[in-house]
Amino acid sequence: MAKAGFTKSYIPAAYGGLGFGMIDFAIAAEELTRVDVNVPTTLLGTGLALQPVIQFGTPEQRKRFLPPFVEDGDGALLASFAFTEVGGGANYDSDDPRAGVQTMARREGDAWIVSGEKHYTTNGWGWDGRGAHLYTVVCRTDPAKGARGSLAVIAVPGDAPGVHVVEAYDKMGHRGVITPRVHFEDVRVPADFLIGKPGDGLDIVSRTFSWTAALIGAACVGVMRRAFEIALDFARSEVRLGTAPVIDYQNVGYMLADVKMRIEAARYLTWKACHSLETTGDQELAIETKVYCSELAVQVVYDAMRIVGVESYTKRTPLERLMRDALVFPLYDGGNMGIRRRQLHAMLREPGYDSMRAAENRGR
């Protein structure tokens, strides 16, 4: 993948990358996910971790952190967004200093000292358990202040003393992507590795996750598309002790038609969300895409399984794997219940909220 240039796709051209537009990346993600979810998830995981630098970093920070990912031609460099606390992630934006993110960074002279425990850090394992090349760590800089005053993102090199990968979680799906527990024990990094300033973490986290929110829609479409193809091929070729292919029966044909319509709706919502986020910066459609497509994917794969029947519950078809992979879509990258719907709820409560703003691509 690295030799083909894919690992450079999310790096801006100004820093040696290919500078893919979001719709380009969505198309690539769909094609890859149709075959295997793990490869594009690894790519998205590194892209996610670099978004704080790409979107909010200073020119000096971009020159420091981005070129190594371009210059490495073997794809050996992985980045990891260390967001989720071991105690949970949904309440990361709490303004009560007793709650929220518990990973802390304290200033000592010309350095930040980072301490805390994270898990579900996609790519945090690296290739061999020795960690990612770079972590972007969500933390607080003042234990007496909540998120609004102290939430921050700090770049932490994976080889810094005090970075420990302590456990790889055994998951039911996405088996080729390791999301480990990582401890940061008094990790010292230069003061200028802080991205933005304390308190900027709220906006950095939101916009970073909006980038993947839109693109996860494409991953969901890829999984749904593969499930549809399996079910369609089955329906065309199997008679199941009957005299005609099962696609000739209305209950099967209508279900296939419904699945196909859902896939098309999900794909074009994804493309619209990518275009909107890239051209206006508005995050509404990206968040809606993540919620809608992720939950739709679970239903579509299940409907494909219903068409194929009980055999789909065995490893004789790829559908059981697709279901295991689809089930995490509503749960990760900002869970739909804990974070994403709360984000949409907050938008709806804003004074003067315009329900047509996102549809008309006007931004805020």
Q: Are residues 256 and 144 in the same domain?
A: no
CATH number of the domain that 323 lies in? 1.20.140.10
Strands 104-108 and 111-118: what pairing?
antiparallel
Q: Are residues 209 and 171 in the same domain?
A: no
Q: What is the residue range of 68's domain?
A: 6-199
Q: Are residues 240 and 179 in the same domain?
A: no
Q: Are residues 297 and 260 in the same domain?
A: yes
158 in any annotated domain? yes
30 phi and psi angles, rounded to 5 deg: -65, -45
323 in any annotated domain? yes
Q: Are residues 16 and 156 in the same domain?
A: yes
Structural domain tally of the chain?
Answer: 2
Determine the straight-line distance between the first and last CA of the chain, rounded to whole angstroms: 37
Active-site annotation holds for 333: yes
Q: Are residues 45 and 102 in the same domain?
A: yes
CATH number of the domain that 93 lies in? 2.40.110.10
197 phi and psi angles, rounded to 5 deg: -135, 165
Q: Are residues 155 and 237 in the same domain?
A: no
Q: Are residues 184 and 99 in the same domain?
A: yes
Q: What tens-digit pLDDT sequence spans the chain (364 residues)?
A: 878 888 888 899 999 999 889 999 999 999 999 999 999 999 889 999 999 999 999 999 999 999 999 988 788 899 999 999 999 888 999 999 999 999 999 999 999 999 999 999 999 999 889 899 999 999 999 999 999 999 999 999 999 999 999 999 999 999 999 999 999 999 999 999 999 999 999 999 999 999 999 999 999 999 999 999 999 999 999 999 889 999 999 999 999 999 999 999 999 999 999 999 999 999 999 999 999 999 999 999 999 999 999 999 999 999 999 999 999 999 999 999 989 999 999 999 999 999 999 999 998 7
356 in any annotated domain? no
Dihedral angle, C-alpha 28, 33, 36, 38, nearest 10 °:
90
Given 173, 199, 225, which residue is the final one in a domain?
A: 199
Q: Are residues 122 and 235 in the same domain?
A: no
The DSSP result for 43-102, as a single string, is: HHHHHHHHHHHHHH--HHHHHHHSHHHHH-TT----EEEE--BTTBSTTTT--STTSS--
- Range list of β-strands (E), the chain: 79-82, 104-108, 111-118, 134-140, 151-157, 163-167, 181-190, 194-195
Q: Which of 95, 248, 333, 354 is catalytic?
A: 333
60 in any annotated domain? yes
Cα–Cα dist 94/151, whole Å: 10
One-letter amino acid of 304: A
360 in any annotated domain? no
68 phi and psi angles, rounded to 5 deg: -55, -30
Q: Are residues 163 and 226 in the same domain?
A: no
91 in any annotated domain? yes
- State the pTM of this model: 0.94
50 in any annotated domain? yes
Helix and strand totals (H; E) in the chain? 10, 8
Q: Is 126 left (phi over 0), alpha (psi -120 to 50) or beta?
A: left
Q: Are residues 68 and 193 in the same domain?
A: yes
Rounded (10°) angle between helices 22-35 and 201-237: 50
306 in any annotated domain? yes
